Structure 1
Amino acid sequence: MGNSNLRQLAVIEEVPFAELEGSIVAVDAHNWLYRYLTTTVKFTRESAYTTDAGEEVANLIGVIQGLPKFFEHDLTPVFVFDGGVTELKDDEVEARREQRERYEEQLEEAREKGDSVEVAKLASRTQRLTDTIIETTTELLRLLDVPVVEAPAEGEAQAAYMARKGAVDYAGTEDYDSLLLGAPFTLRQLTSKGDPELMDFEATLKKHDLTWEQLVDVGILMGTDFNEGISGVGPKTAVKLIHEHGDLWAVLDAKGEHIQHADRIREMFLDPAVTDDYAFDTALDPDMAAARAYVTEEWEVAETEVERGFERIEESVVQTGLDRWT
């Protein structure tokens, strides 16, 4: 999920949506979707998004509730989905699986006790992006003519790469690892109320007198999704150590420490698995009728839960007068 300690180093400022109009944002789809998915499950009755066959598709409510924020501010989202998960992330994936299983056990106990508040809280914590959720999300985006890109590995890395290449104006994610991946500008808080935050890569390097490589070294010293950090090393200490010794290897030697796979972890931020094999068209032409039918008829989502979202999408098409919509 990214190293939250990086926030203490990152140059971040709130940016009005008015300054972003007409921009293209490569959105870390799994990160964005998970936030809407957990929110939907927490605040929506289960029957509203569960089919007669027992399949949960709360994601469809989340997508319809979340997309209007882009369209109403004349932003084109390009959703970048994860491909394969790197083997170095296996430990984190396993830890999250074990934690989810504990939550599922607690959820069952809460249901037996009839504790509706605890049930709502734990239900959101047990959500995972199943194949059905990914497939139905992708199909709904297709019907709405929203661009989708599949990354060879981490979607966040692909989004950062597309931003560096100038294919999009911003990367969009809540994870601070976007900074380590070299995204020039990252938009955060795209799932929250109010204006988003803008995280500036070059300004961050300049503020701390670091190179990109050294910033990655700072991140590794603090800990990433792929490794635990050095005990007692926080943001300020990590920067100080890099200034004193020059790079990660010199710091590890000086402190007598070892980080397994450090060289591979470093490379995964500086040269991640990405692709140039993508194309998208911003001249969008959504099929609103088909999208409505897909959500409410094929997947049996309660119309009351998505009606306002669909209305907002249609209203934004008219009010903004986007020439890419027809």
Structure 2
Amino acid sequence: MGIKGLTKLLADNAPKAMKEQKFETYFGRKVAIDASMSIYQFLIVVGRIGTETLTNEAGEVTSHLQGMFTRTIRLLEAGLKPVYVFDGKPPDLKKQELAKRYSKRVDATEDLTEALETGNKEEIEKFSKRTVKVTKQHNDDCKKLLRLMGVPVIEAPSEAEAQCAALCKSGKVYAVASEDMDSLTFGAPRFLRHLMDPSSRKVPVMEFEVSKVLEELNLTMDQFIDLCILCGCDYCESIRGIGGQTALKLIRQHGSIENILENINKERYQIPDDWPYEEARRLFKEPSVYADDEQLEIKWTAPDEEGLITFLVNENGFNSDRITKAIEKIKAAKNKSSQGRLESFFKPVVSTSVPVKRKETTEKAEKETVNKRSKAGGAKKKK
């Protein structure tokens, strides 16, 4: 879920903090990507018609592999350097949210059965998407694929978004890419939406800067975290009756959740029993992440051509010619991205421009001195 309604809240109250960008904008940039969210998108969109999905001869779903392979190549061809981060063990506080999601999938499965019986195509499409779940096998398949492609993979100790944000805050990557807005709540300096959108090549990337978000909203980071908890997050229920705009108004007026609870009209707004907002706040401020470089090996390598053909063609039924051509694209793209960003080419010019100018000035002065001496010598001879 991420943070409920945060995108609209920022569009209405902090429009300068978000801007549309093209893929090419991030040439040479390292970007941490929330892998599980991307896999979920691929399972829903790639090759799906109703309840039908891409499968291999054994009947195993391959939509996630197709989506991850194609989209990653597109990123590489645009000169990006993706780092995929996978979820680890979820925090205990998230178990209630995960239970809700499970319940919704059970309900959707029942609704899908009815839709199939009646032949309602719209209902079939809607409910089949709601039954999708990213499994351990999906994650393991994509980890194997990415490593064979020579793309770095990080297995987070807990939340992938938190680990992505930590990588960005430490300067190991330029930005974080996900669809869940809680990457901003974890403090990612730059956050990108739609970078992995498989539905269309024309969808622009939406970039958010957390510093501009805070400036536009006139909030501190602690107040922004409280705002997100009030809007609704994965770690606890929100206060019934408080939406995004009301939450922003209350935070601006009272400064913190504690002060809001002291002043709120409890008859109008229903506060959940044993509301664990303090623990939710702690999870956003002090998440479980890796910080040691030994645990965060970020290295792009050449693709394992033989391994990719074995895994994709022999084991999962992908077309051999297409995979061979795709491997050539990966190799060409990695050579291209190794050239670095455009501004790096100007650094030597900037550093040497002053000495060159001084040299030209010195040579000019020396010529003028020689000319003056020559004229003076000629004048003496005339005398």
Q: TM-score, normalization: structure 1?
A: 0.89
* Paired position in structure 1 for 2:155: 150
Deviation at 1:310, TM superposition (A): 6.5
Specify which of 267, 270, 274 is matched with residue 289 of structure 2: 274
Distance in 2 (CA, whole Å) between partners of 1:248 and 1:228 is 14
- Determine helix, strand or coil for the equivalent of 2:5: helix
2:95 maps to which residue? 90
Map 1:1-326; keep pairs closer than 5 Å.
Answer: 1-7=1-7, 8-9=9-10, 11-40=17-46, 42-43=48-49, 46=52, 48-52=54-58, 54-113=59-118, 118-192=123-197, 193-194=201-202, 195-255=204-264, 256=266, 258=271, 260-277=275-292, 278-300=295-317, 302-303=318-319, 311-312=325-326, 314-315=328-329, 317-318=331-332, 321-322=335-336, 324=338
Instruction: Tell me, yes or no, if the aligned pair for 2:4 and 2:232 is still in contact at 8 Å.
Output: no
Q: Which moved further from structure 2: 34-43 or 86-95?
A: 34-43
1:148 to partner: Cα distance:
0.5
Give the counterpart letter for 1:6 in structure 2: L
Distance of aligned partners of 1:268 and 1:319 in 2 relative to their CA distance in 1, 3 Å threshold: closer
TM-aligned CA deviation for residue 119 of structure 1: 4.0
Q: Highest relative contact order (Cα 8 Å, sep 6+), 1 or 2?
A: 1
With 103-112 and 88-97 compared, the bigger mean Cα shift is at: 103-112
Q: State, as a whole percentage, how many aligned pairs show the same letter.
A: 32
Q: CA deviation at 1:57?
A: 3.2
Give the root-mean-square deviation of aligned CA atoms. 2.5
Partner letter of residue 77 of structure 1? P
Q: Which runs of 5+ in 2 are unaligned?
A: 340-383
Where 2:132 maps in the other structure, the secondary structure is coil
Change over 3 Å in CA distance of 1:71–1:221 after alignment to 2: same
Alignment CA distance shift 1:75-1:323 (3 Å): closer
Determine helix, strand or coil for the equivalent of 1:56: coil
Distance in structure 1 (CA, Å) of the matches to 2:209 and 2:159: 21
Q: Deviations over 1:97-134 (max 9, x none)?
A: 11111222233344455556654443333221112111
Residue 172 to residue 297, structure 1, CA distance change in 2 (3 Å): same
Residues in 1 aligned to 2:4 and 2:18: alpha-carbon distance in whole angstroms: 13
Output the CA distance in 1 between the equivalents of 2:190 and 2:205: 12
Which moved further from structure 2: 60-69 or 72-81?
Answer: 60-69
Contact 1:172/1:190, CA 8 A, preserved across alignment: yes
TM-score where L is the length of structure 2: 0.77
CA distance in 2, matches of 1:90, 1:41: 31
Deviation of the 1:246 alpha carbon? 1.7
TM-superposed CA distance for 1:26, in Å, is 0.6
Number of residues of Structure 1 aligned to a counterpart in Structure 2: 321
Asked whether the equivalents of residues 226 and 265 of structure 1 are also in contact (C-alpha less than 8 Å), the reply is yes
Higher CA-based Rg: 2
| 1:42 match: secondary structure | coil
Asked if structure 1 preserves the Cα contact closer than 8 Å seen for 2:83 and 2:298, the reply is no
- Looking at structure 1, the residues matched to 324 and 240 of structure 2 have their Cα atoms a distance apart, in angstroms, of 49
Q: Which has the higher mean CA deviation after the structures are superposed, 38-47 or 174-183? A: 38-47
Q: Is the 8 A contact 2:50 2:128 kept in 1?
A: no
Give me the whole-angstrom Cα distance separating, in 1, the residues matched to 2:252 and 2:259. 11
Secondary structure at 2:141 match in 1: helix
Unpaired runs of 5+ residues, structure 1, are: none
SS at match of 2:280: helix
